[in-house]
Amino acid sequence: MNLGLFTDADEVRSGVDDLVSGVRREMDPLPGYDEATTPGTIEERNERAYRRDGIAIGAEDLELLEQAGTSLGVAIPWRPTEENEPT
């Protein structure tokens, strides 16, 4: 999004930075949480973790993926086969 179409982009960025800093500094966390966050903080952290560690997939979902792959003739990369083994 081009903020410069509406107002000075640097002012908007500065205002958002001030808002986030204020939330972290001034607001009390909800019970059971260590910090107060702004919308999107948790999602952004999760995205970073997913990119680093991968997305956890349950056993039932893995089985469904394997069945779909097998029915389509696609090699299952997490199941070693002669085709998938390194040479």
Q: pLDDT truncated to tens, each residue of the chain (87 aa)?
A: 787 788 888 998 899 899 888 888 888 998 999 988 888 999 999 999 999 999 999 999 999 999 999 999 999 988 876 655 554
Closest CA to 28 of 39, 20, 37, 36: 36
Task: Give the span between the Cα atoms of 36 and 67, in whole angstroms.
Answer: 43
What is the pLDDT at residue 66? 94
pLDDT for position 85: 56
pLDDT at res. 73: 93
Domain ranges of the chain: 3-56
- Please count the other Cβ atoms lying within 10 Å of the Cβ belonging to residue 69: 14
